[in-house]
Amino acid sequence: MKIEAIVVREIQLRLKSPFETSFGTVENRRILLVEVVADGASGWGEVTAGEAPGYNAETTDTAWHILRDFIGPLLAGKNLAHASDFPGLVADIRGQEMAKSGVENALWDAEAKLAGLSLSRLLGGVKQHIDCGVSLGIRENPEALVAKVAEELARGYQRIKLKIKPGKDYEFVRAVRNEFPRILLSVDANSAYRPDDTGHLRRFDEFHLLMMEQPLYWDDICAHAKLQAQIKSPICLDECIHNTRHALAAIELNACRIINIKVGRVGGHSEARLLQEACRTRGVPVWCGGMLESGIGRAHNVAMSTLPGFSLPGDVSASSRYWDEDIIDPEVEVSAKGTIEVPTASGIGYQVRRDRVEALTVRSQAFSAKSQASLLTR
């Protein structure tokens, strides 16, 4: 694939309602989209960094800097046999997984389109449907949370994940568990607790949680190993795992029993694929997490979720849960059984609504093979 052009743009999209986690509340998303033109085909990717560095170290603006000053100029005009060659090209750029992932995934979409294959097929996916759960933001009180859970269960979602933080945790989970004794239920703390909270976290054993996601420090695998030895809830690591080596360390240390794979957090489809395979061969279940993506990131999550290691329902849910109007056609829809049908059209399998993307764009920058330099387009 000859990389003719790379266009990076920022779009702004308002969530239907604010999403609260232990690290903050977001309502207006600032999303970077990457379009790569290779051999005449357009591939699309999404940078899943947040607006603030509360989940991980990257932000919309750090990703813009990395893409504009390093990755854009590096990639323009290059010839890649496969999208999977991209990680090697950017290996000297430390970290910045979400910025890299936006570009790598656009290359995967382009490669799949050029080959006339669905992205799922190209990645080695084996499922026609994926199982869906939802992630519910922190609510005002337990009653409001129970009502929201009832609504999502009625829509068919197979697993409910509750965001928790100190002071908005035990009572909230207890209320949901009392109302729904048998559902698959998990919690996600986004690193809000400390080793001193072990006694408190052990109280959640009574709820028979499917998992407790990232209770401790965002960057500390060892602390989770110590906690896992003292609680029954299976720990799932999210923030701590940036690549396959981290996953292998966590598994070896018994720091978790489940891993959340986010394509952006691990740097793109190539690493996500390696990671799910490493977990599968070691009997560690994985599932696909989300980052409040627009339809483009969502479509990439759908494709990744079809790989054989993804044995638990993920956080990949319907476009309409987050957006009044998505940027893809059709939107991502969830059946009454809580599944998403994997598209069979080539590439990500959803049409990018260019007119809508254009209208939502607040800045963009293009890098072309011809000039090798960046061209300011707005």
Active site residues: 163, 262
What is the footprint of ligand OSB within residues 181-200 (CB under 6 A)? 188, 190
- Separation between Cα atoms, residue 137 and residue 125, nearest integer Å: 30
The b-or-e profile of 243-257 (16+ CB within 10 A means b, else e) is bbebbbbbbeeebbb
Nearer to ligand OSB, 188 or 271 (CB): 188
Q: Supply the Cα-derived Rg of the chain in whole angstroms.
A: 20
Q: Which residue is nearest to ligand OSB (CB)?
A: 290
Are the beta carbons of 38 and 2 closer than 8 angstroms? Answer: yes
Beta strands 211-213 and 235-237 are: parallel
- Residue 339 contact among ligand OSB, Mg ion, none, beta carbon within 5 to 8 Å by kind: none
Smallest gap from residue 236 Cβ to Mg ion (A): 8
Sign of CA dihedral 254, 257, 260, 261: positive
Minimal distance, residue 349 CB to ligand OSB, in Å: 19
> Shortest CA distance to 107 belongs to which of 130, 76, 133?
76
Choosing among ligand OSB, Mg ion, none, which partner's interface includes residue 231 (Cβ < 5 to 8 Å by kind)? none
Question: Total residues at the site for Mg ion (CB under 5 A)?
Answer: 3
DSSP string, 316-350: ---GGGT-SS-SEESPP---TTSEEEPP-SSBTSS
238 binds ligand OSB (CB under 6 A): yes
Q: Is the dihedral of CA 118, 124, 128, 132 positive or negative?
A: negative
Question: At which residue do the structure tokens 């110590």 appear?
Answer: 226
With b for 16 or more beta-carbon neighbours within 10 A and e for fewer, the 305-334 pattern comes to bbbebbebbbbbbbbebbbeebbbeebbeb
Structure tokens at 331: 């939107």
Residue 135, binding choice from ligand OSB, Mg ion, none, Cβ under 5 to 8 Å by partner class: ligand OSB
Residues between 219 and 248 that touch Mg ion (CB under 5 A): 238
Q: Is 55 a binder of ligand OSB (CB under 6 A)?
A: yes
Interaction between residue 317 and ligand OSB (CB under 6 A): yes
State the minimum distance, in angstroms, from the CB of residue 48 to Mg ion.
12
CB of 131 to ligand OSB, least distance (A): 14
| Least distance between ligand OSB and beta carbon 81 (Å) | 32
Min dist CB 336 to Mg ion, Å, is 26
Q: Which does 158 bind (CB under 5 to 8 A by kind): Mg ion, ligand OSB, none?
A: none
Piece of 71-79, 202-210, 219-227, 286-294 that binds ligand OSB (CB under 6 A): 286-294
Alpha-carbon gap, residue 227 to 307, rounded angstroms: 30
User: 55 contacts which partner out of Mg ion, ligand OSB, none, CB within 5 to 8 A by kind?
Assistant: ligand OSB
Name which of 313 and 347 has its Cβ closer to ligand OSB: 313
Of the pair 135, 233, the CB lying nearest ligand OSB is at 135
289 lies in the site for ligand OSB, by CB under 6 A: yes
DSSP string for residues in 83-112: GGGHHHHTTTS-S-HHHHHHHHHHHHHHHH
Task: Show contacts with ligand OSB in window 292-311 (CB under 6 A).
Answer: 292
C-alpha torsion angle, residues 227, 228, 230, 232 (rounded to 10): 140
List the alpha helices (DSSP H) in 194-349: 198-202, 221-228, 244-252, 269-281, 295-304
Task: Find the shortest distance in angstroms from Cβ 367 to Mg ion.
Answer: 33
How far apart are the C-alpha atoms of 275 and 170, rounded to whole Å? 32
Query: Per CB under 5 A, which of residues 182..221 are in contact with Mg ion?
Result: 188, 213
Stretch that binds ligand OSB, among 7-15, 290-298, 303-311, 370-378 (CB under 6 A): 290-298
Residues engaged in binding ligand OSB (CB under 6 A): 21, 55, 135, 188, 190, 238, 289-292, 315, 317
Residues engaged in binding Mg ion (CB under 5 A): 188, 213, 238
